[in-house]
Structure 1
Amino acid sequence: MFSDPRDYQIVFLTTFLGLGIMTRDWSIKPELILTLILSCCLTQLVLTSLLKPTENLLPTLKSALITSLGLSLLLRADRVSTMLLAGILAIASKFIFTTNKKHWFNPANFGIIIALILTPDAWVSPGQWGSDWWYLVLFFGMGGIVLKRVGRWDTSVAFLGSYALLEIARNIWLGWTWDVCLHKLMSGSLLLFTLFMITDPRSIPNARFARIIWSIAIAGLAFILRNYFYINEAVFIALFTISPLTILFDRLWLAPRFNWYYSELKA
């Protein structure tokens, strides 16, 4: 239906946000969501106009809107100033940390980490979706559509598969019941991360083999941080830490760069 995969992302992330507010009784305030949307889109507009005046603004604003929706779904805070900081720096990171026109970090992930580090009221709630099975079906259904259009399903499979294997092995080693493992793996936030954040084609390696290694490294680090350091934000910290390796991997394994309008070209 849409020629640009970003249109699917906008529709699906907006749907998830609406469902979270209506069915999970999220406490996020409308002004915080509005702050994220405006800060991301206005920062994108200003920086693109100043630094890339020949670039088409509409596609870049789509990306900024996706970033703001991702932050609205995953980041929680009590103050407008925290969301303002997260939104501005998330978009600014694309212009500051870049090599060969490719940014080092997923913008939403960068905004989350910066908010967690620099503000006293930011947090990420890994259990905000609960573990209802129909959320699982919805996430995989909509996420699958986006991944098919973008062609980066290997990243999600490598990450979630390796992370699940590590959790299953630990579960067996400790002799725990299977419901403990399933509870961890059916987290809505984990699935959103897997299907919509770690697959951002503009901040992950171009070559398929490189993406698989990159994803496994993130899964391994997230597993260690979550289970041995008891950090709830483990997956976001792991992505933030491993992301800069994308630049190195693109040099080691050469492959065509992703193009939003020609995403059928698989690396």
Structure 2
Amino acid sequence: MFQDPRDFQICFLSLFLGLGLWLKDWTLRPDVIFCAIATCLIVQSAASLLQVREASAFSLDWVGSLRSALITGISLSLLLRTDHWYTMVFAASVAILSKFSIRVKDKHLFNPANAGIIATLVLTQDAWVSPGQWGELGWYAIAFLGAGGIVLGRVGRWDTSAMFLATYGGLMVGRDCWLGWSWDVASHHLSSGSLLLFALFMITDPRSIPDGRWSRMLWAACVGGLTFVLQTVFIVPIAVFWSLFCLAPLTPLLDSLQATQRFQWQSARPASQG
């Protein structure tokens, strides 16, 4: 335990989910959370059984693949809301299967949780994401930053979060200054707990973002810029999720332009499905 960076991420995301159940969000339903996590684990196991040809390779990566599936299930539980358990089963199934079915050079194209969220919002009628569900600045924002810092330090992807927040935040502050608005407007957007969760735990998924450092920073800046445009020009309330989804195809292009070593989880072999 805690030899793999995903162990820290699982613990911290579980803590935030527990805080949501205890303190903040009455829309969190234990039965829906159970369906999200159970579906991710079951679909990951079934897909791995079909994918892996050698039993020895499968056994070595079994625990690692379940770690990733568990992170996806908790992430869906934190960010996606629905009144029906079967809608969450659909979201979790799409999330995990996207890792196996949409790949470029043995690397999955989309962040699994993000793919599940977008597919569910587009194809169903009873799912939603509340951008401000965690409220604004508070003691838990410090917890988000501290927990995210530990995970990013272990994974080495802090530059991605920093560039995204700097780009998006800089554009928001610049716009408000240009329009003569008070600092409260930008602060309202930048202090969202959902934005912090996205910036610290979703956009930094090392298995679906560019491998090279400068490629990651350019990509993160593009995500931040598109988020700003979608939110302020087209008034898209969940702009961060659409930006990440739409710009995912840039990853293989940037990987081809900056050749570097492919990221592997500490406990995984190169054949891992992450």
Shift of 1:52: 1.7
Shift of 1:25: 3.4
Shift of 1:174: 1.4
- TM-score, length basis structure 1: 0.96
Q: Does 1:169 align with 2:171?
A: no
Specify the alignment match of 1:112 in structure 2.
117
1:116-265 alignment runs, 5 A limit: 116-261=121-266
After superposing the two structures, state which structure 1 stretch, 22-31 or 180-189, moved more: 22-31
Shift of 1:96: 0.6
The residue matched to 1:103 in structure 2 has which SS?
Answer: coil
Shift of 1:172: 0.6
Specify the alignment match of 2:10 in structure 1.
10
Hey, what's the Cα distance between the residues in 2 that align with 1:42 and 1:232? 32
The residue matched to 2:88 in structure 1 has which SS?
Answer: helix
Gaps of 5+ in 1: none
| Code of the aligned partner of 1:87 | A
Shift of 1:43: 0.4
Shift of 1:234: 0.3
1:50-69 alignment runs, 5 A limit: 50-53=50-53, 54-55=57-58, 56-69=61-74
Specify the alignment match of 1:47 in structure 2.
47
Hey, what's the Cα distance between the residues in 1 that align with 2:64 and 2:52? 13
- TM-score, length basis structure 2: 0.94
Shift of 1:236: 0.2
Identity of aligned residues (%): 52
1:79 is aligned, of 61, 74, 84, to 84
The residue matched to 2:215 in structure 1 has which SS?
Answer: helix
Shift of 1:262: 7.8
| Code of the aligned partner of 2:100 | F
Hey, what's the Cα distance between the residues in 2 that align with 1:26 and 1:188? 16
Hey, what's the Cα distance between the residues in 2 that align with 1:87 and 1:261? 25
CA contact under 8 A between 2:27 and 2:81: conserved in structure 1?
Answer: no
| Code of the aligned partner of 1:112 | I
> Once the two structures are superposed, what CA deviation does each residue of 1:17-56 show, in whole Å capped at 9, x if it has no partner?
0011111133221110011011111000000001124332
The residue matched to 1:91 in structure 2 has which SS?
Answer: helix
Hey, what's the Cα distance between the residues in 1 that align with 2:170 and 2:70? 34
> Once the two structures are superposed, what CA deviation does each residue of 1:174-231 show, in whole Å capped at 9, x if it has no partner?
1111111111000000000000000000000000000011001111111111111111
Hey, what's the Cα distance between the residues in 2 that align with 1:113 and 1:57? 28
Specify the alignment match of 2:271 in structure 1.
none
Specify the alignment match of 2:36 in structure 1.
36
Specify the alignment match of 2:21 in structure 1.
21
Gaps of 5+ in 2: 269-274
Hey, what's the Cα distance between the residues in 1 that align with 2:36 and 2:246? 24
After superposing the two structures, state which structure 1 stretch, 211-220 or 20-29, moved more: 20-29
Hey, what's the Cα distance between the residues in 2 that align with 1:164 and 1:52? 43
Hey, what's the Cα distance between the residues in 2 that align with 1:132 and 1:190? 11
Shift of 1:85: 0.5
Hey, what's the Cα distance between the residues in 2 that align with 1:153 and 1:132? 21
After superposing the two structures, state which structure 1 stretch, 253-262 or 174-183, moved more: 253-262
